[in-house]
Every structure is written in structure tokens, then in C-alpha cells.
């Protein structure tokens, strides 16, 4: 922990992505993508449809494994880790098409994500988590897999035992989770609907619940994938306020995808523009706005000049 705090203090980026590439067959979905987010930054990621924006999110959160490149969070390598360990490390996200647990109550949706922060020590799991960096000798790999399975079995038994025996610590943890979830729901004005099934919420509430759920994992970096999709002007204005508030109150670092370029220009300090999987521009809104490459990507070929 200390090492990573020192790292931040030195002015280094919190999230540092370098040379990230991923190909689906012959299609280079993301090509040499680089991005550096300073702590407490609010950055936008835009680009035409199919530019690879969501793929970048999927790479960061471990849904896909990159073919090349590295993702560092406060100096710690994230690529190659399983999604739940990346969430544990402090990266949370929402989804373009809402992916709440529809059959669970609003309250339970948030509780699920609170589980990460119950003071358990998964360090052993992280250490033993198989990585695919260096090809190692097969005996080494077999031994590591065996050790991992044993550890996994012990932890499964331990989980079951604490829950069945209702240890005081376990009951305390469960209470802490409930309190935290309620607190988050009230922040998002969803507390009065906490017992409804998530799928019965109106659309706008579902969007906000997704953000609340992501926050429940207590992230350092929050990735928002088209949070304004399907919202009207008033709702978008509220959302912009909410995003700014989140950044200040939770001291979050945010990366935001949206098709509403106006919204992004309005709230983001810096913007990265992606086209065909490549970064074509990166800078302050005013710089990006006038970048000929960006205009070309959005509007097509520039008109041939008469000269």
C-alpha cells in the first residue's frame, strides 16, 4: 500500500495504459492504445461507433486479455488478472447496455458489490493467481496449479464455515455491508425503492443504480460506459452534476465514454479520441474539437479544396 501511495505522490499517473492491443481474428479492435490518468482526473473517451471504446473498457476490467501492452494501476500490473481481482484492485465500471442483476432487489444489487470491502485478505489468492507472462517449466506450473487448488479449497471451506458457524466477525461484516449499501442507495435517492426488483425500476433509476453498484466496490478508478445513453436534456444535465460530485466526494478518477460529444466536452478536462482502434487525438476539449483528424473521423473525408 505504501509503495503505491509513494508512487502517486511522485506525480505519476494512477492508471497508466501503454501500447494496449487486441485483435479479433484479423481485425485490430484496439491498436497501440495508450492513456494516462492522473489521480482525480475526469477524462472522456469518444469516437465513432465501432471505434473500440467499449473494448478498451473490457480490456481494462479483464473481460478480455490484451495481446500486447500493459495496464498499471498505481504501479501495479492489472493485465492478466481475473476480473474480480481487478475489481478488488480498485477499478469499477458500468455498462453500455444496463447489466443489473434483474432478479435481485435493488438493495441486493449494491450488497453484492460491497462484498469486496469486508477486510478479508486475498493477498494469497493474488499471489497464487496463475499469470501467463513467462512460459515456465511444466512441473512448476503443475505445482502452482495444485497449490492454488488447495488454497482455493481451504478458502471455500473457510467461507462456508464462517457463514455456517455465524462467527461474530462474519455477522459484523454482514452488518457493515448492509449499512454501506443503504448509505449508497440514499446518496442516489434510491433508498425508497430498495426492496423492488432491479428489473422493475424505471430506466433512469437503473442507470443510477448501476453507478451506485460500481461505487460499492469502493473503486479508485470508475469507468462509465455511455451513462447518458437514452437520457433527455434535463436528465443529462443532472448526470453531469452527479459525475462531478462523485469525483469530488469519492476522490475518484473517472474515464467516461459517451456519444454525446457536447456532454463530454462540457464536463471532461481531457478527451481521447479513438477511431479504428487507434488514438487519433488526445488533449483538452478545445484542442480536440478543432483537430482535423477528429473532424474527419466524425464527418468523413474533408472536402477537396479548390486551390
Enumerate binding residues for other proteins (CB under 8 A): 61-63, 82-84, 87-88, 92-93, 95, 99, 101-104, 108-109, 111-113, 115-116, 118, 125, 149, 152-153, 155-157, 159-160, 163-164, 173-174, 177, 213-214, 216-217
| CB burial readout 131-147, b (16+ within 10 A) else e | eeeeeeeeeeeeeeeee
Q: How far is the CB of 18 from other proteins (least distance, A)?
A: 23
List alpha helices for the chain, DSSP H.
2-9, 53-60, 83-89, 106-114, 123-128, 138-165, 168-187, 203-216, 233-250, 261-267, 285-289, 292-299
Strand order in the sheet with 221-225: 91-93, 221-225, 253-257, 42-46, 270-275, 278-283
Q: Report how far residue 159's alpha carbon sits from residue 170's, in angstroms, rounded to the nearest whole number.
A: 10
The helix or strand, by DSSP H or E, that contains position 190, with its residue range, turns out to be: none
Q: Which three cell numbers stand for residue 150?
A: 488447495
Q: How far is the CB of 210 from other proteins (least distance, A)?
A: 10
Q: Report how far residue 158's alpha carbon sits from residue 160's, in angstroms, rounded to the nearest whole number.
A: 5
Q: How far is the CB of 198 from other proteins (least distance, A)?
A: 9
Q: Given the complex with other proteins, which of 125 and 265 has the nearer CB atom?
A: 125
Q: How far is the CB of 211 from other proteins (least distance, A)?
A: 12
Q: Report how far residue 177's alpha carbon sits from residue 114's, in angstroms, rounded to the nearest whole number.
A: 6
Q: Which three cell numbers stand for residue 25?
A: 481474428
Q: Given the complex with other proteins, which of 33 and 57 has the nearer CB atom?
A: 57
Q: Given the complex with other proteins, which of 127 and 157 has the nearer CB atom?
A: 157
Q: How far is the CB of 292 from other proteins (least distance, A)?
A: 37
Q: How far is the CB of 237 from other proteins (least distance, A)?
A: 28
Q: Given the complex with other proteins, which of 111 and 184 has the nearer CB atom?
A: 111
Q: How far is the CB of 152 from other proteins (least distance, A)?
A: 7
Q: How many CB atoms lie within 10 A of CB 120?
A: 16
Q: How far is the CB of 118 from other proteins (least distance, A)?
A: 8
Q: Given the complex with other proteins, which of 118 and 278 has the nearer CB atom?
A: 118
CB 271, CB 46: distance < 8 Å: yes
Q: Given the complex with other proteins, which of 226 and 275 has the nearer CB atom?
A: 226
Q: What is the dihedral of CA 63, 69, 72, 77, to 10 degrees?
A: 80
Q: Given the complex with other proteins, which of 10 and 138 has the nearer CB atom?
A: 138
Q: Given the complex with other proteins, which of 104 and 295 has the nearer CB atom?
A: 104
Q: Report how far residue 104's alpha carbon sits from residue 245's, in angstroms, rounded to the nearest whole number.
A: 28
| Number of residues that make up the chain | 307
Name the burial class of residue 166, with classes exposed (0-12), middle (13-18) and buried (19+) by CB atoms within 10 angstroms of its CB: exposed
Amino acid at each position: 500500500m505504501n509503495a503505491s501511495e509513494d508512487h502517486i505522490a511522485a506525480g505519476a499517473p494512477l492508471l497508466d495504459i501503454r501500447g494496449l492491443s487486441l485483435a479479433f481474428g484479423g481485425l485490430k479492435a484496439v491498436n497501440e492504445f495508450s492513456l494516462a490518468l492522473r489521480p482525480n482526473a475526469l477524462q472522456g473517451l469518444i469516437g465513432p461507433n465501432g471505434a473500440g471504446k467499449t473494448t478498451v473498457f473490457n480490456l481494462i476490467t479483464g473481460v478480455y486479455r490484451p495481446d500486447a501492452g500493459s495496464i498499471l494501476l498505481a504501479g501495479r500490473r492489472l493485465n492478466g488478472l481475473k476480473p474480480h481481482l481487478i475489481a478488488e484492485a480498485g477499478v469499477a465500471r458500468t455498462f453500455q447496455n444496463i447489466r443489473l442483476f434483474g432478479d435481485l432487489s435493488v438493495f441486493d444489487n449494491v450488497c453484492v458489490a460491497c462484498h469486496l470491502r469486508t477486510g478479508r485478505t486475498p493477498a494469497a489468492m493474488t499471489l497464487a493467481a496463475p499469470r501467463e507472462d513467462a512460459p515456465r517449466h511444466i512441473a512448476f506450473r503443475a505445482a502452482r496449479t495444485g497449490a492454488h487448488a488447495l488454497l482455493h479449497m481451504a478458502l471455500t471451506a473457510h467461507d462456508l464455515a464462517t457463514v455456517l458457524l455465524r462467527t461474530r466477525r462474519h455477522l459484523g461484516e454482514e452488518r457493515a455491508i448492509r449499512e454501506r449499501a443503504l448509505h449508497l442507495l440514499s446518496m442516489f435517492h434510491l433508498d425508497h425503492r430498495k426492496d423492488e426488483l432491479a428489473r422493475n425500476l424505471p430506466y433512469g433509476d437503473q442507470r443510477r443504480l448501476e453507478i451506485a453498484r460500481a461505487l460499492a466496490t469502493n473503486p479508485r478508478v470508475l469507468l462509465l460506459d455511455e451513462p447518458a445513453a437514452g437520457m433527455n436534456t434535463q436528465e443529462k444535465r443532472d448526470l453531469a452534476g452527479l459525475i462531478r460530485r462523485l469525483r469530488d466526494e469519492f476522490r475518484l478518477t473517472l474515464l467516461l465514454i459517451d456519444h454525446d460529444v457536447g456532454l463530454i466536452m462540457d464536463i471532461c478536462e481531457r478527451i481521447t479520441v479513438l477511431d479504428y482502434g487507434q488514438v487519433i487525438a488526445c488533449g483538452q476539449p478545445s484542442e480536440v474539437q478543432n483537430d482535423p483528424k477528429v473532424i474527419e473521423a466524425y464527418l468523413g473525408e474533408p472536402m477537396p479544396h479548390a486551390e
